[in-house]
Structure formats: structure tokens, C-alpha cells
Chain A
Amino acid sequence: DVKVTQSSRYLVKRTGEKVFLECVQDMDHENMFWYRQDPGLGLRLIYFSYDVKMKEKGDIPEGYSVSREKKERFSLILESASTNQTSMYLCASSLLGNSPLHFGNGTRLTVT
């Protein structure tokens, strides 16, 4: 069974801090995604990657960057955290285009 692991379940950071959210998948999937989930807004795509060192902006990339140095790991970086980035962050992976997405359990980030 596919396992997508997000390194932290809860994080509390201060405004202006640099924040790293880590995600690892164990099934050699090509595609990896970062979404944020907010009540009433559903999930919104921040960035995705379809290959090592490749990245594409999603719908809301402002204030975020990503890194994919190895196939199994996809990191989300908040260069300077702000309170409006308080949210649930979900990582997902898929084998091919239009294969189902497999999600991690999420990281709830609070920026104070």
C-alpha cells in the first residue's frame, strides 16, 4: 500500500521564520503535490512536481517555494512565514497523470 509521510503533524512558527514542510512517498511515484486546506475553500494547489528537480506553480504559489532533489521527497518552503499561511498542508503523490492521488495525513501549521 502506498504510504505518504509528512514529517510533522503539528507545527507552530513565528511570523518571519523560514519553515520547511517535508513529504516522503515510498512507491516510486512520478508526481507529487502540495495543497493547502482551509474551511469552506476546499483544497488549493500550491505547487506540484512531475519529476526530480522539476516543479510547476499551482493556483496559489505566492509566498511558497518547493524542492525536489530526490524522487521520493518533496519539500514545501515558506521563506518568511505570515499569519495568513496558517492552514492545513496536505502532500500527495501519484504514479502517472490521472492515477489516483495518495495523500499524507497533513501538517497543521500555525503562524503566530
Chain B
Amino acid sequence: AQSVTQLDSQVPVFEEAPVELRCNYSSSVSVYLFWYVQYPNQGLQLLLKYLSGSTLVESINGFEAEFNKSQTSFHLRKPSVHISDTAEYFCAVSAGGTSYGKLTFGQGTILTVHP
């Protein structure tokens, strides 16, 4: 079984500041890792994913995450945030094999960007 811990329930930052949203996971098997974002009154959208290959993955809107196997972490970072990045962010893990892609989610981190 897998589990995911997001270490911060809320992260307030000012516009143009850097941000890091922390995620740690536990699993007895190799995993795939995801970050999803949920804007107010919407469903979740995929932000980025790590399946294999380079441990640093990037999204189209400037976020990046690094898979660190030794520390079992997949922290999300952005060097300069915008007001429009205000949302709730979820880290998720999926086991390979016959898991059918079902995800285990963390508790979520609410990112609030202030002007």
C-alpha cells in the first residue's frame, strides 16, 4: 500500500516570491508520482507527472518537481508565483503493475498568493 503526506496544509506567499510545496510518500514498490491542481469550484487538473527517466519534471506554467527516491519526496516548486496560482494542490502516488492507475492522494496544500 502507498501513502502520501503533504507537509503543509496552507502556504501563503506574496506575488513573485518563490514557493515550495512539500510531498513525501511511502511505498514498498516502485511508484509513479503526480501533482494535481484544483481551482475554486472545479475538478482536479494534472499539473505534472513523474513516470520514469529524468527526475526533474516541469509543467507548462512554470512549476517543477523533483523525484528524490532516497528521501521519498516529490516537492513542487515555482521560482516566481502569480495571483492566478492560488489554488489547492494535491500530490498523488500510483503503484505500477495491476493498479489500474488508481491514485492515493495527499491531504492537499492550499496555496494563497497575495498581491
Contacts and interface: CB of A to CB of B under 8 A. Distances in A.
Interface stretch (B36-44, B56-64, B77-85): B36-44
Interface stretch (A11-19, A38-46, A66-74, A77-85): A38-46
A100 B100 contact: no
Contact of A97 (B46, B99, B108): B99
Interface in A30-49: 31, 33, 35, 40-45, 48
A99 B99 CA distance: 11
Nearest to A58: B102
Contact of A43 (B46, B94, B105): B105
Contact of B104 (A45, A92, A103, A106): A45
B11 interface: no
A81 to B, nearest CB: 22
A101 B103 contact: yes
Contacts of B106: 42
Nearest 3 Cβ contacts at the A-B interface? A103-B43, A43-B105, A42-B105
Say which size band chain A's interface belongs to.
Answer: 20 to 34
Contact of B101 (A58, A98, A103): A98
B90 A42 contact: yes
Contacts of A41: 107
Interface in A55-112: 56, 58-59, 90, 92, 94, 96-101, 103-106
A98 B94 contact: yes
Given A42-B105, A98-B51, A106 B43 contact: yes
A41 B88 CA distance: 13
Contacts of B96: 97-98
B43 A100 contact: no
A32 to B, nearest CB: 10
Contacts of A94: 101
B102 A48 contact: yes
Given A40-B9, A92-B44, A103-B36, 8 more contacts: A31-B101, A33-B102, A43-B105, A48-B100, A48-B102, A100-B49, A103-B43, A104-B43
